[in-house]
Amino acid sequence: MIESVEIDDRIEKCERILEADPQSQIFAALADAFRKKGDVQKAYEICMQGLRIHPDYASARIVMAKIHLVKGNYEAAWGELEKAIANGGRTRAIDMLEAEILIRRGRKHEANLIIRNLLATDPDDENVKNLISLMEDETIVGGKSDEDMTSLVALKPEKDRGRDLTLTNAINMLKVMPRVLGILAVGPDGLVLDGRFEGAIHKEEFAALSKGIFDAIKVASEKLHFGTGREVLIETQSSKIWLFAAHKYLLVVHARDDVSLGALRLKIHDLFSDVVI
């Protein structure tokens, strides 16, 4: 009852603001309030109208993704999520929403990778626990296949299940870190072995260029008797590119300029120290 009153109060305030300024971005909060109230169609209409004026407003795209989730339009929800990421980057809330959409679409293994990362950063997060419960419920409804059971087992703490990461899994887990835009594993020949990238960057060209830069710096470092280089950090105005020599491949990490380098280094070491190809 209290929650219902709070939602009604929020709707009233948002409508008052929007009436005074039809260009206001408050439409997203208003649409979300109607969604929480259960009036999904009203929420959809408000959000759609607002997005015509503010098509790049990431928060509104997230609200629209949640609306589509309620309506069971999982493909549409996924499309809105991708637009939200493109316009506003990744956040923990987006990671949780992505995991839920993946579960609903039956892609539990991919959802599991995201949930594991969320658990690693905050094991007491009730929202993450709800995702795990949803994973279990969806598994029971659909029947417990071997893949589903493997996915649920993987949610156990690392110390209880052993290290069994593949290169693909490690890349997927690193990709869901906040502000990470893309990861490539590049072979000795400069070709992409595996990777995930956002935006219009051509992976093959980026891989070849990164390998060329790393090799040139490595040779120069050895000529100057600085030893064999194992890491190269390139900082641009809007992003950072980190190159790591890992086993028989070069790991290329592209991130936003405000990424936490310390957290990124720890995660890379944790994920890729045991991955061998």
Q: Show me where the domains of the chain are located.
A: 2-153, 167-272
Q: Would you give the DSSP letter of residue 156?
A: S
pLDDT at position 148: 44
CA distance readout (Å), 55 to 12, 47, 77, 148:
24, 10, 15, 37
Q: Would you give the DSSP letter of residue 72?
A: T
Q: Enter the tokens of residue 132.
A: 């795990």
pLDDT at position 199: 60
The residues pairing with 182 across neighbouring beta strands, listed in sequence order, are 197, 254
Which parts of the chain sit beneath pLDDT 50? 1-2, 140-154, 156-163
To the nearest 10°, report the CA torsion of 117, 125, 121, 257.
Answer: 90
For residues 254 and 199, give the distance between their C-alpha atoms in angstroms, rounded to a whole number.
11
Fold that domain 2-153 belongs to in CATH: 1.25.40
pTM of the model: 0.55
CATH architecture, domain defined by 167-272: 2-Layer Sandwich (3.30)
pLDDT at position 21: 93
For residues 244 and 230, give the distance between their C-alpha atoms in angstroms, rounded to a whole number.
6
